[in-house]
Amino acid sequence: MSAQTSVPAGAQWFALHTLSGQENKVKMYIEKFKKAEELDEYIFEILLPTEVVSEVKGGKKTGVWKYYLRSGGVRATGTYKGGICDGLWKWWRENRKPLQVGRFKGGKPEGIWKRYYESGKLLDVGAYSAGK
């Protein structure tokens, strides 16, 4: 938000959960809706909590990407190759404890995956081969 934008007292934050990779579509939809319905006095800012550590090539995500929680903590980190999850991915909870860790190969889960309780203690370990 720019320094010139004023937000009235009592304004609230809202977070929307989307499917990974759909964040930009949701933001664009909200911006169109805001304009069409003349909601400027109600919707002050639309943030997309994503940091691009790498880049988009040919319209497809490539390299390491980070997604953030509203609190500022990291929600997930992982690698894309040609727009497909490929390599190590890690997810965290709002309390900054791990949620799960695993690898993708060609967009499918592969190898050992670990899930964690909210406390951060290991919940279970599973193994995938060709996404199954």
pTM above 0.85, yes or no: no
pLDDT: which is higher, 57 or 9: 57
- Rounded CA separation 48/52 (Å): 11
**pLDDT of the residue at 2:** 36
Judged by phi (left if over 0) then psi (alpha if -120 to 50, else beta), residue 58 lies in: left
CA neighbor of 130 nearest in space, from 109, 114, 112? 109
pLDDT tens track for 70-88: 777 889 999 999 999 999 9
Q: How confident is the model at residue 52 (pLDDT cuts 50, 70, 90)?
A: low
Three-state DSSP at 94 gives coil
Mean of the per-residue pLDDT values for the chain?
84
- Rounded CA separation 53/37 (Å): 35
pLDDT: which is higher, 29 or 19: 29
Q: How confident is the model at residue 50 (pLDDT cuts 50, 70, 90)?
A: low
pLDDT tens track for 90-124: 999 988 899 999 999 999 999 999 999 999 999 99
Do 110 and 131 form a contact (C-beta atoms < 8 A)? yes
**pLDDT of the residue at 68:** 83
